[in-house]
Amino acid sequence: MSAEAAIVGALLVPLGGMVLIALTGWRPNVREGVTLVTSLVTFLLVASIFPSVAAGARPEVALFEMLPGLALAFRVEPLGMAFAGIASFLWIITSIYSIGYMRGHHEENQTRFYAFFAMAIFSAIGVAFSANMLTLFAFYEVLSVCTYPLVTHQGTDEAKRAGRIYLGILIGTSIAFQLLAIGWTYIVAGTLDFQDGGILAGKAEGPLVGVLLALYVFGIGKAALMPFHRWLPAAMVAPTPVSALLHAVAVVKAGVFSVVKVIVYIFGYDYLAQQMSGGWLVYVAGFTIIAASIIALRQDNLKLRLAYSTISQLSYVVIAAAILAPMSVMGAALHIVAHAFGKITLFFAAGAILVASHKTQVSQLDGIGRRMPWTMAAFAIGSLSMIGLPPTVGFISKWYILQGAVQAHQMVAVAVIVVSTLLNAGYFLPIVYSAFFRPEKALAGAAQHHIKVDHGEAPFTSVFALTATAAATVALFLFPDAPLSLARLLVGG
Amino acid sequence: MEFPGHFNYWIVIVMMMAGFYVVISQGNLVKKVVGLNIFQVSVFVFYISMGKVDGGTAPIIHPDWTTYTNPVPSVLILTAIVVGVATTALALALVVRIRRAFGTIEDDEIEAQEEAQS
Amino acid sequence: MISSNLPALQIVIPLLSAPICVILRDRRIVWAFAQLITLFAFGCAVALTVQVLQTGPISYEIGNWQAPWGIEYRIDLLNAFMLIIVSAIGAITMPYARVSVAKEIPQERIYLFYTMYLLSMTGLLGIAITGDAFNLFVFLEISALSSYVLISLGEDRRALTAAYRYLVMGTLGATFYIIGVGLMYMMTGTLNMADLVGRLPGVAHTTTILAALAFITCGVSLKLALFPLHLWLPNAYAFAPSVVTVFLAATATKVSVYVLLRVFFTIFGGVDLFIDSHLADILMALALVGMFTMSAVAIYQKNLKRMLAFSSVAQIGYMVLGISFVSVLGLTGTIIHLFNHALMKGALFMALGCIVFRTGSVDIKDMAGMGRRMPVTMAAFVVAGLSMIGVPLTVGFVSKWYLVLAALEQDAWWIALLVLLSSLLAVVYIWRVIEVAYFRPVPEGAPPIKEAPLSMLLPMWLLTGGAVFFGVHSTLTVDIARAAATFLLGDRQ
């Protein structure tokens, strides 16, 4: 199969899967079978593009003329390849996990859940493969809208409120800022195609560059740069698989992916480095990293703590791109991959704890490592990756970012990374420690919250999924060739 | 000379404003329709007087006459009068129905009833 | 023979068939007849458009009276496009009308409804097709008089007062228009638009012509419900029968916008009065204020038809804003939005019509659980609503894109930002409905209701599908709009 056909296939399969899921909703086994097969086929299709991209080709497909001269077009370059690869691969594992989770947790409206999940993956892959900013924006918006029913899945007032914040910030920033920036870029540059070296080089000068950069990075609300980060903690009311795949991987990565794309292919990082007005981004991202980490320290709700950790980790990618050195841009690409595997493991673990014991707070986790050894071991590995310690892939990406920062003499960035590493350790290691080494304690009001005292591991599918992603986190440390080669291609080496 | 020479326009403006004022100020729906009529008639006068040529006669070709009044505005106004009649008829029909539905044709009383309904 | 007389047939056939409806009497036969006539009008409009595309503007002299003395029908790309919009909506609404009208209008009056419907369509088509300024007034009154009757057919007694108020305002507007035409005639001695273009420059700088422009603008603005002359519109749309609202919302105000375009850029095309008199600036200010205030007012409406009516006034602001840029991009935005807004507003009002058909209410509190009770209808509402917001891959985005580009092209970035911010208000009023429809449970004891009949769902989804199709693949419509805009601006670019 040609790479071009595979691109179209990778988009059509999840879309077709969504329709099939909706149609087979009355038979859960068939429905979940469809989900699994769809995710598997999608991944295989995405993977089949990898060899040609790694060989330096850039397969392209143009579908419709969305606007005259601005087609809905796809072009697979290394970064998009990496993003689509992890999104589709983790979809398989998340699907396996979801089956255990959704049944174990007796969720309602499961058909709607699986259907919109497929649609979210469809739009994430659309974002990854987009050949121009308009296509990216289109799928970005579709992603916002189709994850709304997932965030508000519970249908409670709290979910509704969270949905408002979620959609309000994501749609608000993207329409008010991002679309303005896109229109402006089109007027200035006459094109929106992603090109090596950027399309604004030589066309926009002085303060305009800074303004456009600000409109882009704040307009891409999914990157959760402060002060537009509130939607991410709000989205944690969603079922855990949603938080795991979408709000640790697909949605948020679509955000930072877009930021990197904009910096590399719209501005061109060389060009941006020459301009004086782009330097502030390092400070904004640095502030977000530190501030989010400090907030994470104070969260007792496990999923919220993970959410703030995500905000902080996303800004690693932004700061890495904003350093504007080849080495750090590589680090940014690697960190997208690294964080995906690490964070999804952590969310899977949080979900497994919830299903097995109905515990949601960090303070309730004393001694749980002995009841759920697999889960908590995976959690420990995920934590190491977040902190950036070997033998996990988080170490590699952080290493590249640091090297780039040193190369570019960005001492602020270096300091931020060092301090935040300590903070990461500060909010993850105590969880691991108390889970394994503290004795279990009786919880006041346990019965009210339906907390089970006597429980074992979570359902098999959940444990399998989180073990797999934890293993992948280690495996990518040992064999980082695939992501590394893509990252090198991204910076043209 | 300017003022008396343009007196037809002055009359048009006075009628127009009078009609407009009635439409705005009167609360009675029938009176509003009357105001609307005065307003429209002022435009008819405006068109017809604009086509009048000094010393001209009706545009019927006859050896005795060389100057004719422009017939086009008069023809246009024939159409406009038809439209005006239709509008008035429809407006009055609506007033009849409103009276049946609300029991009054005073604007403020109708509005009060509408407020109460919503 | 037929093809050379198409312009006359376009008007004469629906005009003559209106009295035939009165003779036919039986509601089923009348409906079938009206459906046939509307389809014929649509075919006629398409044939005319094809002809215009092939051979350029068509001039047709009614009764072989030579222009400029006789009445000339003159069809260029712009009014061909208008003919298509009006006749297409007219034809698509017909199948929908059959059951909806049978429910909302007393049986013995149904044939009169179709008579008036055809007359109203004739009037709108006539406004679009004619090349004579006074003839335009006649058609304006034909469409207006019949629409007063149509509105007064509503079930609620407030429909009567709404119709009466519309009548007063509409008559004032039309009379203003003929005053303006009279003033122009006084100075130029012609009523033919093409002739006026040549003669106006000689007298352009007289107070009389300035007054003419002012009267015409004022009069037409009343008709198109430009803020703050919109007071007649909300109640008229809210209390008219559903079908009437669909038809008028999708066509009537659009045709008035067309008249504005025609006056400003064809009749006054040879003189710069539109810009010199600061009329463009005034319209821009009114448009911007209208966009914000009317969207904000829409948010607080309990009656959903009224909410959409206010949204229509806001959308008219977008169209007028496009005009006020006096650029190809701006006019393209206006013209494309005429079409796009007809699609999405038509679909939204049809959705409400379906709900009225089953529940008899469009109050927001009665929408609780509607997502479950009438899923197909609500799905169309959501898609068309997303288009109102301007989510990419829908037509709403295309319109917004051109308006934003037009603003940025003139370095008016703040207007671009205002356009985008005002569209965020649409998020609020659309999402308010979605939250109630999907998150509130079906009220206890509510009678079970079925989905609307297929004959209503199909036209609704046709428009909704169009809103997506022309959003994904907008080349066709944008090309026509852009060509029309270029043609209108002529040498002024």
Q: With beta carbons under 8 A apart, name residues in chain B contacting C361.
A: none
Give the closest of A65, A160, A176 to C473, CB-based. A65
**Contact at CB, B76 and C168, closer than 8 angstroms:** no
DSSP at C75? E
Of A261, A235, A222, residue with least CA distance to A143: A222
Residues B91, C167: Cα–Cα separation, whole Å: 7
Alpha-carbon gap, residue A112 to A217, rounded angstroms: 32
A17: left (phi over 0), alpha (psi -120 to 50) or beta: alpha
The answer to whether position A47 is within a domain reads no
pLDDT digits (tens, 9 = 90+) for A128-163: 999 889 999 999 999 999 889 888 888 888 888 888
Cα–Cα nearest to C221, from C291, C173, C285:
C173
Alpha helix ranges (H) inside A358-480: 368-371, 373-387, 393-407, 411-437, 460-478
Number of domains in chain A: 1
Euclidean distance between the first and final Cα of chain A, in Å?
28
Domains and CATH numbers, chain B: 2-117 (1.10.287.3510)
In a domain, A478, yes or no: yes
Q: Which residue among C167, C175, C303 sits closest to B91, beta carbon to beta carbon?
A: C167
Mean pLDDT across A17-24:
86
For residues C72 and C69, what is the distance between their CA atoms, to the nearest angstrom? 9
Read off the pLDDT of each residue in B74-93 and give the average, rounded to a whole number: 92
A430 SS3 class: helix
| 3 state SS of C397 | helix
pLDDT at B1: 43
Distance from C122 to chain B by nearest Cα, in Å? 16
For residue A444, the model assigns a pLDDT of 62
SS3 state at B28: strand
Q: How far is CA C46 from CA B22, C4, C42, C43, C128, in A?
A: 46, 14, 6, 5, 14
Q: C-alpha angle C321/C324/C326, rounded to 5°? A: 130
Kindly state the average pLDDT of the residues A82-99: 86
The answer to whether residues C148 and B90 touch, using CB atoms and an 8 Å cutoff, is yes
pLDDT at A391 over 90: no
Q: Which of A316, A283, A280, A488 is nearest to A402 (CA)?
A: A316
Q: Per DSSP, what are the bridge partners of residue A424?
A: none
Does pLDDT of A35 surpass 50?
yes
The answer to whether residue A139 is domain-embedded is no
Rounded percentage of chain A residues whose pLDDT exceeds 70: 97
pLDDT at C152: 92
Q: Give dist(CA B33, CA C92) in Å, integer.
A: 36
Highest mean pLDDT among A7-11, A325-329, C36-40, C64-68: C36-40
**Chain C residues close to B43, C-beta within 8 Å:** 175, 178-179, 182
Other CB atoms within a 10 A radius of the CB of residue C19 amount to 12
pLDDT at A449 over 90: no
Distance CA A329, CA B85 (A): 77
Nearest CB partner across the interface for B43, out of C160, C178, C185: C178
Contact: C186, B101; criterion CB under 8 Å? no
Contact C457, C354 (CB under 8 A): yes
Q: Could you tell me the residue range of the domain that residue A397 belongs to?
A: 279-493
The segments of chain C whose pLDDT lies below 70 read 1-2, 270, 491-493
pLDDT band at A440 (very low <50, low <70, confident <90, very high): confident
Chain C residues touching residue A134 (CB < 8 angstroms):
392
DSSP letter at A59? -
Model pLDDT, residue C373: 87
Give pLDDT, residue A104: 72
Provide the pLDDT for residue B4. Answer: 64
Q: Do C439 and A187 touch (CB under 8 A)?
A: no
Q: What residues contact residue C408 under an 8 Å CB cut-off, 6+ apart?
A: A180, A183, A184, A187, C416
Q: For position C43, what pLDDT does the model report?
A: 93
b/e burial code for range C124-144 (CB count within 10 A of at least 16 → b): bbbbbbbbbbbbbbbbbbbbb
Check residue C160 and give its pLDDT. Answer: 92
Crossing angle for the helix pair C133-152 and C110-129, to the nearest 10 degrees: 160
Q: Please tell me which residue, A489 or C11, carries the higher pLDDT value.
A: C11
* DSSP character at residue B68: B
Question: In this predicted structure, what is the pLDDT of residue A317?
Answer: 87
pLDDT tens readout for residues A336-384: 888 888 888 888 888 888 888 888 888 887 878 788 888 888 888 888 8
- Identify how many contiguous H helices and E strands chain C contains and give both numbers: 20, 2
Q: Do the Cβ atoms of A183 and C409 come closer than 8 Å?
A: no
In chain A, how many H helices and how many E strands?
21, 2
Confidence of residue B70 (pLDDT cuts 50, 70, 90): confident
Amino acid sitting at position C188: T
**A152 neighbourhood in chain C, CB within 8 Å:** 439
Contacts of residue B87 in chain C, CB cutoff 8 Å?
141, 145, 167, 171
DSSP C443: P
Q: Do A175 and C420 touch (CB under 8 A)?
A: yes
Instruction: For residue C442, give how far its alpha carbon lies from the nearest alpha carbon of chain A (Å).
Output: 13
Higher pLDDT among residues A453 and B42, named by residue = B42
- Please tell me the predicted confidence (pLDDT) of residue A446: 60
Q: Is residue A220 part of a domain?
A: no
Interface test with A, best of C376, C394, C408 (most A CBs within 10 A): C408
Is there a contact between A37 and A104 (Cβ–Cβ < 8 Å)?
no
3-state secondary structure of A75: strand
Distances from the Cα of C408 to the Cα of A81, C289, C403, C404, angstroms:
34, 19, 9, 6
